[in-house]
Structure 1
Amino acid sequence: MGSGGKVLGPSGKRARQRRNERILAWVTLVGSGVAGVGGLVDWALGNGLEAQTFWPFAVAAWATALLLKSYGRKRAAGIANGLSVGLFAVGGLWLGIPAALHLVRGESVDWLDFSVGVLVAAVLVAALVAEGLARRRKRRPACSPASS
């Protein structure tokens, strides 16, 4: 049985790293699934739907994207990643917009909600700018140094 990994699959540093990434993604997926179900049970018991209810589902979508990517399903991974980003954005803006309104009105502000909202808004703006620059760079023909 000294086949060096033929029975258990590929061996080596890269294969071990992929296996560890998959294990981490599965643990994250299961943990966030349990937390998400707990949030839904809390909502069903009449405690209302809050922004914190969306975070476990966003993490679960991110873990699903990692798993799909590791199994070679890049298009499905991109869709899951987009869902994750959307859920993070909804949760962050749901926290931040009311806190910003309280600040503008001069009322007491939950500074944690406000800072999460500002952070999410800043990351969204940076991501949109980066995507726009990447698309513009892709459309523009590359200039080679030999042609000048």
Structure 2
Amino acid sequence: MPPKFDRKRGLMSRRITQGALIAGSIGILINIVDAIGSGHLEPHDAFTALVALGAGGELLKERRPRAAKVLYAVTSVLLVIAGSVAGARAWASLFRGTTYDWLDLGLGVLIVLYVAVGAGQLLARLSRRASKSRMNAGTLSD
């Protein structure tokens, strides 16, 4: 009989996250063996590590929030680097007129959007902080 979902503990989502961590770890091992056999890494080989890091961050979120934030930051940086490399290669191939991978091309576009949204969120947060500090300064001067 499968375990019941518990809202407090989130048992099912924890099990899914543990499964993602295991699948990501297995994918990392497969990519290592593939890289040894072929002699080089491809940008898409990083995505199994992204799954494992994201799942690890999710599992650490409640007990070790700082460690989870570090894992999320590492995951984001790795995502941007791997996606940028894959996208740049595909876009360069497109402009040269050689063969390219549509998936890598789309990934490059998604990474640009991901960075744009992240930059927008950062600017909005900084703007709110500046606004709050101006309001607090105005309140103190009265």
Mark yes or no: TM-score above 0.5: yes
Match of 2:41 in 1: 49
In the alignment, structure 1 residue 140 sits paired with structure 2 residue 131: yes
Q: Which moved more, 1:135-144 or 1:39-48?
A: 135-144
- Cα-to-partner distance string for 1:106-138 (whole Å, 9 max, x where unaligned): 333322211111111111111111112112212
Match of 2:56 in 1: 64
SS of residue matched to 1:141: helix
Q: How does 1:83-94 map to 2 (within 5 A)?
A: 83-94=74-85
| Distance change (3 Å), C-alpha of 1:106 and 1:45 | closer
The amino acid across from 1:92 in the alignment is G
Mapped partners of 1:16, 1:68: distance in 2: 13
How many pairs does the alignment contain? 132
Match of 2:22 in 1: 30
The alpha-carbon deviation at position 13 of structure 1 amounts to 4.5
Structure 2 unaligned segments of length 5 or more: list them: none
In the alignment, structure 1 residue 125 sits paired with structure 2 residue 111: no
Mapped partners of 1:30, 1:106: distance in 2: 40
In the alignment, structure 1 residue 76 sits paired with structure 2 residue 67: yes
The alpha-carbon deviation at position 83 of structure 1 amounts to 1.0
Mapped partners of 1:128, 1:65: distance in 2: 22
Structure 1 unaligned segments of length 5 or more: list them: 1-11
Alignment root-mean-square deviation, CA = 2.1
SS of residue matched to 1:70: coil
Select the residue among 8, 11, 16 that pairs with 1:15: 8
SS of residue matched to 1:14: coil
Mapped partners of 1:141, 1:135: distance in 2: 10
Match of 1:8 in 2: none
What is the percent sequence identity of the aligned residues?
Answer: 25
Mapped partners of 2:35, 2:108: distance in 1: 22
The amino acid across from 1:51 in the alignment is P
Match of 2:86 in 1: 95
